[in-house]
Structure 1
Amino acid sequence: MNDIIRKVCVIGAGTMGAGIAAQVANAGVPVVLLDIVPKDGENRNAIAEGAVARMLKTEPAPFMSKAAAKLVETGNIEDHLDKVAECDWVIEAVIERLDIKQGLYAKLEAVKREGTAVSSNTSTIPLAHLVEGRSDGFKRDFLITHFFNPPRYMRLLEIVTGPATDAAVADKVERFADVAMGKTVVHAKDTPGFIANRIGTYWIQLGLNAAFDMGLTVEQADAIAGKPMGVPKTGIFGLVDLVGIDLMPHLQASLTSTLPKDDPYQEIARSHPLIEKLISEGFTGRKGKGGFYRLNRDMGRRKEALDLATGEYREKTSARGPSGRAAKGDLRALVETRGAVGEYAWAILGGTLAYAAALVPSAAADVVAVDDAMKLGYNWKSGPFEMIDTLGAQYLAERLEAEGKPVPEILRLAGERTFYRIEDGKRQFLGLDGEYHDVVRPEGVLRLADIKLASGPLLKNGSAALWDVGDGVACLEFTGKMNALDGDVMKLIVEAIPLVSARFKALVVYNDADSFSAGANLGLALFAINIAAYGEVEKLVAGGQMAYKGLKYAPFPVVGAPAGLAVGGGCEILLHCDAIQAHAELYTGLVECGVGLIPGWGGNGEMIDRARKAPMMPKGPMPAVAKVFETVSTATVSKSAAQAKEMLFLRPDDGITMNRDRLLHDAKQKALSLVEGYAPPEAPEFRLPGEGGHVALNMAAQGFHKRGMATDYDMVVSDALATVLTGGEADLVDTVSEQELLKLERETFMRLVREPRSIARVEHMLETGKPLRN
């Protein structure tokens, strides 16, 4: 049997099916996307083709690059089902009707190769029903792969296998989904709703019911059942708006028809007349005319909320949520808060946690699967059993018992113990046998959080730390808020270089956080500017230049391993690394012009060097400089690692890791691959276009200004950037050394720092998180 997936077929070009196909293409694997032949029109492939066209315009984008879209081959199931024979995995994502799915499977069985995996994206129909009437061979190749929407951004994949499923087929699919598609696989039992949607739907239903029953406003409910519980700030009503209010009756109907009659969900499943009215009138949430919240464009885009008592919209208010410890993740304090806050919190938490606890082992083999499913599928900060540890298993059991409610057996098993503990530097979970077991990571998964459990830092200060990640590789971690960069980071880099040189083979720059780095700590910089401590600002700029060049010319290879946001100084440190191993979701760029400044830590020279070495870049000093000017002056940020390559922030041979949990391991392997025969790079010399190039760049900027695409102060900032990129007063025939360019960069940066309009931009960014267009 072929254990490698080289081509995939997705049948069903709706939102989910098309999104799954896009993620396969993002992995660099060809995919065939098929749907039915439309009733009208001459184009028999119109549905699949239309889905690809829509995805190319959708934001956030399903495709990581336009190049990925070219890997999608479109067709229809009447003319092109024979293409299944070319594929190693067929994913069915058609309408949730058993008869339609079974009819499709009969056709697939006639054309697919033996060993080709077939999976359904269903979340409502049991596997046993899906394969009813199919051959033993088909059943061996069949499983359920339940993706979450949108497939590019949601990491959870629930896999369900049947008693006849071939383990080798399932392993092939799981490996591809994990490594190539970036999914974290959670194994679920063949029960209605599997894990995440079963618990999530129960949680939402409880939240809706309790808010209506207690007479809360939607703002009050979401202020309680949002951030204080460690769930997304949308809360419950905001989440329902996001996923679609019209989805709720379908989920309810599915679960009530398939769950046992004694399941607790049957007791709370209720329809609310107001919700039915909203759906009938097209108020289905963000995708419709509004939902529990809306923007009233007739009243100047006024933010409004639905009054649950009257069914009418009114101006959205700021609800007072929990305070003190209850607002900071102390769940015991939250549910014990007097009044509506505590009552509502307990109604949701008490019921949801008890329900989740009762699903082990019927829906999930262990507590880890349940927690992973909710963290990855619903973006909860902590899983249900991690929440129970915060609340106290015994406390939860006693309170349930006092209210005459059933106490799940697993809570009695835990007693006064926690479901998780740290033992001998390893994270362990409580099993159904009453014993603790190590949480085992898949091969190739390495997390800095796990390393921290078993060791201490080699170096550490308030903003950074250095860790030993094994095999002779050290890891530089940023630790400040949003991993912002300051003097302490630069100080630790300088201290780390001789230590790594003496004791290690290589260095990786990485952290576990969602954002690699938001760039320089603007708050500290603004404080120094406001007290006219310009010497301190220049010291920070010079210190950053020195630290980054220290990494660049260190006697060992340095690999940057970014994920998420990596802008400003966070992008510049990557530009100084020997290589980059990036997570696919990398949003990187030099954004300093947006706050009235220019890159000040060597980023200008590094970008010119990359641009002039880029394949297809025309020769001569001007093309590379013009390319960098266009990218940096507009503060353009990549929307993926693939796009970062197109923008030259990544080199052609830099690596991309699809699964976030594998990034550190992959970066470590890349660093080790560079060790043998390593020599630091030679300092570049630049031939820059001088005054003539400066004039040309300013003329280009003037064109944007005349079209209203650049403000007056944008012209001042872009002129400063052009000064640096063209070499200042250098003549076209001169060569500019790296140190000379750094000096020019530093002087120009300091000139802008003193400009009141730059200061206004920095202040506005800190206050609002948005650029000021002055």
Structure 2
Amino acid sequence: MASHPGNSLRRVCVIGAGTMGSGIAGQVANAGYPVLLLDMPGNDGNRNAITEAALERLRKSDPPALFSEDVLNRISIGNIEDDLASVADCDWIVEAVVERLDIKRVLYRSLQPHLKPEAIVTSNTSTIPISLLVEEMDDEFARRFAITHFFNPVRYMRLLELVRGEKTENEVVETLADFCDRVLGKGVVRCADTPGFLGNRVGVFALQVGIAEATQLGLDIETADALMGRPMGIPKTGIFGLYDLIGLDLMADVVRSLRAILPAEDPFHAVGGENALINKLCESGLTGNKGRGGFYRRGEDGAKLAIDLSTGDYRPRNRGVPERAESGGLAELVSGDDLNAKFCWNVLNRILRYSASLIPAVTENPQDIDDAMKLGYNWIKGPFEMLDEIGVETFVARCQAEDLTVPDFLRNNASGPIYRVDDGVLQVRRADGAYRPLDLPEGVVRFHLKRRELEPDSENPSASLFTLESGIRLVEFHTKANALDADSMALVREAAENPGRGIIIHNDGQHFSAGVNLQRFREFIDAGDWSGIDAFLDDFQQACRALKYCAAPVVGAPSGLSIGGGFEVLAHCSKLVVHTNVVLGLVESLVGLVPGGGGVKETFLRWYRKSGDWEQAAWNAFKQIGYGRTASSPDQAKSLAYFLPDRDETVMNRDRLMSAATRVVGEMESGYRPPEKPEFQLLGGDLHGRMHAFLEKGLADGTFHPHDVTVGSEIAAILTGGEQAEPRRASEQDLYDLERSSFVRLARTPQTRARIEAMLSGKGTLRN
């Protein structure tokens, strides 16, 4: 087994129990490591009041900061007056206190006498240079010191900016990079000790440019967000929605910090001044989603409102989507003379030119900036990937025609792309103009980059099928939210019928799959095409059956939402290798349907194998599917039988899913045999009657709504054989048939149609 430098870190201490410090401690504990969390002593007689409150915030956090509540058992707490000597047992001490140099320096001086010689100390600062942090410390401290800048929320944000000082030892940097990558699951970007590093420097600049351009052009905030969101490959919150999500007050502080540390000539200053409207909103308590609203809010009557940038007054929110937001790509997005095209061009050219201006002063590798934006701000493409989509030569020519300053890196390299594939290897152009292979740690594979080196064997609008160099086949979904349709499942079945050494089902989207395409089912329902629904489900089931009984191993490698039909695909795989931030579950009941791709069948079977009792298995599956229960981590999924700990594996870093899945296929392929076909025991009408009585009781006491009873009765019918059925043995196909029958009966009801409509229109779950 390969030796990893990060293995030397066994125990971690985090000092500072605020949002970031507690989040870092939580992620270390998620990874299975003991962590000591310290802060100032409390003033109310409870010396550990601050750290106790931090644990409670972790326990109640939404989205969950912890894999399960049991993780808290790995976090011990204390305060820096009574417990600082305890750092002597720690290999890595993370400082995450307030962004004040004087406070940090006092802490470091207090720490040093207690540190063992090989201990590493890092700061989570995003604004203070290392040279200032260690200025008053001796060389021994400076050699073991670095910056590890995490992003919030720590569990979910993938970027870790690692900054070394002049005296930082190579061993320290390599140890931190390895531990943060493999153990904490971070994409590590090594940054120079320059103001703002990379993620915030570009990301905050981009947000400020969006606000400035929308204000100057008189664009409403809904249009600005719709354009500077998904069409640009930026999360759908856009600018103003993201400000509300983070908090206007916090963003204002970040802007002030960058303004204070960036050089006077930096273009950030043109957009980073005080914003009177934002200050006014903050003073009124309108700090975003955590307060009473921000740029967006709800009125007293519940109506959705948006602010008018020119007047500062709220008005009804505009739900329309500008036509340009539906464009086919960046080149089309910025073409034309209309107001929306001007906004898109003005925003993009400023962001892309600013990013290029950081080369080589901040980094010599454009990939570092692209990685920072994709990992730290969830952009689908980084600035230099955007430049390639527009065309570097085209971009430079337009900038020059408009008398815009073009950074040297672009002007000197306008004759070709930033990224290219040469001899089957993806390369990136560096500051010196030369192309070199991507800089990724061994075992890290990002499939959105890897796929550029491959030609698909088969491809349609919803999915692609590749054969990797290893001879393993890979199925990739690539619709919006990776919703599944007939095309998706056609590629699944094609792979299962010719699997090569084995199959990996994986994609690099934010979500593995949010389930079957509900829009398509609404179309079937509106057309009254019940046979069409049945045929679709039959094809889906047969694709899943082909996976389950494939001649070679099938490994599902999901991350993010893997629910509904997405989980049904995974449930028929030989084994799962899942990212620890995966969300698994069957949620069809929430839209008035039942799982129709074998989800009820597989859940029933898994519970039987856990309990050995068909009735207990039926009850467990009945309640789990009826409530639409999901698990937000493999730890939680174990208790729901969505994740099988004696079979499946977890991976902390989603960029290592493909490598792990490839290894697993290799381990399984020799002598692989598909599973034996199971036989089920359906207990008939008596059990169905008891399940229906449970539903009626819930309706009477207000726990359930009328259509919940209808849906629950259909789930019971699948698990028991039906209201009038006698106990009998049943095959998998019998369960598939029962699922389809119940699905179609529910699809015929107006209540299910209403639930689907509510979900598709963004109103969420309708209880009717």
Q: TM-score, normalised by structure 1?
A: 0.91
Larger mean CA deviation between 597-606 and 182-191 belongs to 597-606
Q: CA deviation at 1:763?
A: 4.7
CA distance in 2, matches of 1:311, 1:762: 36
Q: CA deviation at 1:633?
A: 0.7
CA distance in 2, matches of 1:588, 1:464: 21
Structure 2 counterpart of 1:382, one-letter code: K
Work out whether 1:726 is the aligned partner of 2:727: no
CA distance in 2, matches of 1:750, 1:406: 61
- Candidates 616, 637, 651, aligned match of 1:623: 616
CA distance in 2, matches of 1:318, 1:597: 28
CA distance in 1, matches of 2:215, 2:286: 18
- Structure 1 residues 229 and 492 mapped into 2: Cα distance closer, same or farther (>3 Å)? closer
For the 8 Å contact 2:6–2:179, the answer to whether it is kept is: no
Larger mean CA deviation between 5-14 and 701-710 belongs to 701-710
The answer for the alignment partner of 1:542 in structure 2 is 538
- Structure 1's unaligned 5+ residue stretches are none
- Candidates 26, 30, 34, aligned match of 2:30: 26
- Structure 1 residues 273 and 488 mapped into 2: Cα distance closer, same or farther (>3 Å)? closer
Question: What is the CA deviation profile of residues 294-340 of structure 1, one whole-angstrom value per residue up to 9, with x for unaligned ones?
Answer: 222x2x12222333333333333357746288x44334x54553254
The answer for the alignment partner of 1:56 in structure 2 is 59
CA distance in 2, matches of 1:686, 1:334: 55
- Candidates 166, 169, 174, aligned match of 1:166: 169
Structure 2 counterpart of 1:650, one-letter code: F
- Structure 1 residues 37 and 611 mapped into 2: Cα distance closer, same or farther (>3 Å)? same
For the 8 Å contact 1:426–1:450, the answer to whether it is kept is: no
Q: How does 1:240-279 map to 2 (within 5 A)?
A: 240-279=243-282
Q: How does 1:524-563 map to 2 (within 5 A)?
A: 524-563=520-559
The answer for the alignment partner of 2:591 in structure 1 is 595
Work out whether 1:703 is the aligned partner of 2:707: no
Structure 1 counterpart of 2:475, one-letter code: L
For the 8 Å contact 2:330–2:386, the answer to whether it is kept is: no
- Structure 1 residues 246 and 755 mapped into 2: Cα distance closer, same or farther (>3 Å)? closer
Q: How does 1:642-661 map to 2 (within 5 A)?
A: 642-653=635-646, 654-661=648-655
For the 8 Å contact 1:597–1:749, the answer to whether it is kept is: yes
The answer for the alignment partner of 2:502 in structure 1 is 506
For the 8 Å contact 1:222–1:236, the answer to whether it is kept is: yes
For the 8 Å contact 2:297–2:304, the answer to whether it is kept is: yes
- Structure 1 residues 705 and 251 mapped into 2: Cα distance closer, same or farther (>3 Å)? same
For the 8 Å contact 1:223–1:319, the answer to whether it is kept is: no
The answer for the alignment partner of 1:387 in structure 2 is 386
Secondary structure (helix, strand or coil) at the match of 1:70 reads helix
Secondary structure (helix, strand or coil) at the match of 1:429 reads strand
CA distance in 1, matches of 2:754, 2:653: 40
For the 8 Å contact 2:558–2:577, the answer to whether it is kept is: yes
Larger mean CA deviation between 314-323 and 93-102 belongs to 314-323
The answer for the alignment partner of 2:90 in structure 1 is 87
The answer for the alignment partner of 1:121 in structure 2 is 124
The answer for the alignment partner of 1:152 in structure 2 is 155
Q: TM-score, normalised by structure 2?
A: 0.92
Work out whether 1:604 is the aligned partner of 2:600: yes
The answer for the alignment partner of 1:453 in structure 2 is 452
For the 8 Å contact 1:187–1:364, the answer to whether it is kept is: no
Q: CA deviation at 1:67?
A: 2.1
The answer for the alignment partner of 2:340 in structure 1 is 341
Question: What is the CA deviation profile of residues 120-159 of structure 1, one whole-angstrom value per residue up to 9, with x for unaligned ones?
Answer: 1100000111111222222121110111111112111111
CA distance in 1, matches of 2:106, 2:446: 44
Q: CA deviation at 1:770?
A: 3.4
Q: CA deviation at 1:365?
A: 2.7
For the 8 Å contact 1:230–1:329, the answer to whether it is kept is: no
Structure 1 counterpart of 2:174, one-letter code: D
Question: What is the Cα-based RMSD across aligned positions, in Å?
Answer: 2.8
Larger mean CA deviation between 585-594 and 448-457 belongs to 448-457
Secondary structure (helix, strand or coil) at the match of 2:189 reads strand
For the 8 Å contact 2:325–2:333, the answer to whether it is kept is: no
Structure 2 counterpart of 1:597, one-letter code: L
- Structure 1 residues 624 and 381 mapped into 2: Cα distance closer, same or farther (>3 Å)? same
- Candidates 651, 663, 668, aligned match of 1:669: 663
Structure 1 counterpart of 2:28, one-letter code: V
Work out whether 1:283 is the aligned partner of 2:282: no
The answer for the alignment partner of 2:330 in structure 1 is 330
Secondary structure (helix, strand or coil) at the match of 1:207 reads helix
- Structure 1 residues 756 and 270 mapped into 2: Cα distance closer, same or farther (>3 Å)? closer
Structure 1 counterpart of 2:26, one-letter code: A
- Structure 1 residues 390 and 468 mapped into 2: Cα distance closer, same or farther (>3 Å)? closer
The answer for the alignment partner of 1:580 in structure 2 is 576
- Structure 1 residues 453 and 696 mapped into 2: Cα distance closer, same or farther (>3 Å)? same
Work out whether 1:637 is the aligned partner of 2:630: yes
For the 8 Å contact 2:36–2:77, the answer to whether it is kept is: yes
- Structure 1 residues 491 and 365 mapped into 2: Cα distance closer, same or farther (>3 Å)? closer
Secondary structure (helix, strand or coil) at the match of 1:235 reads coil
The answer for the alignment partner of 1:192 in structure 2 is 195
Question: What is the CA deviation profile of residues 72-95 of structure 1, one whole-angstrom value per residue up to 9, with x for unaligned ones?
Answer: 222211222223222222111100
- Structure 1 residues 111 and 337 mapped into 2: Cα distance closer, same or farther (>3 Å)? same
Structure 2 counterpart of 1:317, one-letter code: N
- Structure 2's unaligned 5+ residue stretches are none
CA distance in 2, matches of 1:268, 1:497: 54
For the 8 Å contact 2:227–2:324, the answer to whether it is kept is: no
- Structure 1 residues 727 and 82 mapped into 2: Cα distance closer, same or farther (>3 Å)? farther
For the 8 Å contact 2:364–2:430, the answer to whether it is kept is: no
Q: CA deviation at 1:731?
A: 5.4
Q: How does 1:734-749 map to 2 (within 5 A)?
A: 735-749=729-743
Question: What is the CA deviation profile of residues 690-713 of structure 1, one whole-angstrom value per residue up to 9, with x for unaligned ones?
Answer: 333323322322232123222212
Secondary structure (helix, strand or coil) at the match of 2:443 reads coil
The answer for the alignment partner of 1:443 in structure 2 is 442
- Structure 1 residues 45 and 510 mapped into 2: Cα distance closer, same or farther (>3 Å)? same
For the 8 Å contact 1:354–1:407, the answer to whether it is kept is: yes
Q: CA deviation at 1:483?
A: 3.2
Structure 1 counterpart of 2:484, one-letter code: L
The answer for the alignment partner of 1:361 in structure 2 is 360
CA distance in 2, matches of 1:536, 1:405: 56
- Structure 1 residues 286 and 449 mapped into 2: Cα distance closer, same or farther (>3 Å)? closer
Structure 1 counterpart of 2:264, one-letter code: K
CA distance in 1, matches of 2:370, 2:78: 39
The answer for the alignment partner of 1:38 in structure 2 is 42
Larger mean CA deviation between 150-159 and 417-426 belongs to 417-426
CA distance in 2, matches of 1:742, 1:267: 62
Question: What is the CA deviation profile of residues 530-585 of structure 1, one whole-angstrom value per residue up to 9, with x for unaligned ones?
Answer: 55544443333333333323322233222211222222222122222221111222
For the 8 Å contact 2:324–2:340, the answer to whether it is kept is: no
Q: How many residues align?
A: 762
- Structure 1 residues 699 and 74 mapped into 2: Cα distance closer, same or farther (>3 Å)? farther
Larger mean CA deviation between 197-206 and 315-324 belongs to 315-324
CA distance in 1, matches of 2:454, 2:176: 35
Question: What is the CA deviation profile of residues 216-239 of structure 1, one whole-angstrom value per residue up to 9, with x for unaligned ones?
Answer: 443454344444433233332333
Question: What is the CA deviation profile of residues 327-373 of structure 1, one whole-angstrom value per residue up to 9, with x for unaligned ones?
Answer: 44334x54553254344444433333222211112222311111111
- Candidates 515, 528, 532, aligned match of 2:511: 515
Q: How does 1:352-431 map to 2 (within 5 A)?
A: 352-397=351-396, 400=399, 406-431=405-430
- Structure 1 residues 731 and 509 mapped into 2: Cα distance closer, same or farther (>3 Å)? same
Q: CA deviation at 1:394?
A: 4.4
For the 8 Å contact 1:224–1:322, the answer to whether it is kept is: no
Question: What is the CA deviation profile of residues 500-546 of structure 1, one whole-angstrom value per residue up to 9, with x for unaligned ones?
Answer: 2xxx3322222222222233344444444555544443333333333
CA distance in 2, matches of 1:279, 1:324: 30
Secondary structure (helix, strand or coil) at the match of 2:242 reads helix
CA distance in 1, matches of 2:83, 2:471: 52
- Structure 1 residues 267 and 724 mapped into 2: Cα distance closer, same or farther (>3 Å)? closer
